Amino acid sequence: MILRGTTQVFGIFGHPVEHSLSPIMQNAAFQALGMNAVYVPFPVAPEKLADAVDGVRALGIRGVNVTIPHKEKIIEFLDELDRKARMIGAVNTVVNKDGYLIGYNTDETGLIKSLARDLDFCPKGRRILMLGAGGAGRAALVALAEMGARWIGIVNRTREKAEDLARSFRDSFPGTIFAVVGLDETELAEVCPSVDLVLNSSAVGMKGEVFTQIPWSRLNRSAVVYDIVYRTPVTPLVTTAREYGYRAADGLGMLIAQGEDAFRIWTGQDPPEGAMQRALGLP
């Protein structure tokens, strides 16, 4: 593409951000539509976040994605939040409307779309074991509960954090039972036979770490496994699940789906069907 004074600029704020696949995906979509736009990775240190947000306004950057560690902190620098972002307490997409910055969270819709596409799984009426209680866990919990999950068991190294997460959403989703499950084989073995989905919402696996506590022999044979983390070729959790005979998928599908939603928010257009997926070398 040829950069001009009229080129629209989009990007992603993160620290680190060099590993992000979003520039490949978004630029492929812009090029497929013939748009005069470019998507740039911006490494933003935590102490520079406020300055970076000011830069969005000052430079007329049309929109940015937001990733670790800024998803929660960026909220205080924005002018408005969409309902889902406010409920989740985290933002992964920002649109700039003439200097007025609005925050969205497309992670939760991205998760639901990926579960359907990659595992043919619908959360309605199902029992889900969720590993992790951080920002991604909040988005996943909202997504699953809004889709009508019957039971969500939250597993976290710090039990108090899992209890706080469950408590904060019980009133919002009375149709879903929220439970806290200890990170030990005994408690996990009690719930695994009735679980329909094991979902990792934590960062475990990003550096090749392995969950050793999951009692695979006790897990419901019809259960599926989803890891929001993605690695090449796949994460250790996905590898292990498949070795035990379970259908499993990593977070690449979620990355693509949330990226497609961000594209729509910024441009008002649908990205070309499959453009982002093909840009990542996926069929």
Catalytic residue positions? 71
Please, what sign has the CA dihedral across residues 242, 135, 192, 147?
negative
- Say whether 67 counts as a known binding-site residue: yes
CA angle, 74 as apex, 129 and 253 as ends, to 5°? 40
- Say whether 21 counts as a known binding-site residue: yes
- Say whether 251 counts as a known binding-site residue: yes
- Say whether 135 counts as a known binding-site residue: yes
Is the previous residue joined to 69 through a cis bond, with omega within 30 degrees of 0?
yes
Q: What share of the chain is helix, strand, coil (3-state, %, to 5)?
A: 40, 20, 40
Reading phi first (left if > 0) and then psi (alpha if -120 to 50, else beta), residue 245 is in: left
Is-contact 238 245, C-beta < 8 A? Answer: no
- Say whether 92 counts as a known binding-site residue: yes
- Say whether 133 counts as a known binding-site residue: yes
Q: What 3-state DSSP class applies to 101? A: strand
- Say whether 281 counts as a known binding-site residue: no
- Say whether 226 counts as a known binding-site residue: no
- Say whether 160 counts as a known binding-site residue: yes
- Say whether 132 counts as a known binding-site residue: yes
How distant, in Å, are the alpha carbons of 155, 180, 181, 190, 257 from that of 163? 9, 6, 9, 19, 29
- Say whether 161 counts as a known binding-site residue: yes
Please, what sign has the CA dihedral across residues 209, 211, 217, 220?
negative
Q: Give Cβ neighbours of residue 126 (< 8 Å, ≥ 6 apart).
A: 149, 150, 196, 197
- Say whether 111 counts as a known binding-site residue: no
- Scan for tokens 């497929």, then name that residue: 32
User: How many whole angstroms separate alpha carbon 168 and alpha carbon 10?
Assistant: 34
Q: Where does residue 55 rank: exposed (0-12), middle (13-18), buried (19+ CB within 10 A)?
A: middle
Lookup: tokens for 70:
């800024």
- Say whether 14 counts as a known binding-site residue: no
Instruction: Could you list the residues known to form a binding site for shikimate, using ranges.
Output: 20-22, 67, 92, 107, 230, 258
Binding-site sequence positions: 20-22, 67, 92, 107, 132-136, 156-161, 228, 230, 251, 258
Residue stretches of the annotated binding site for NADP(+): 132-136, 156-161, 228, 251
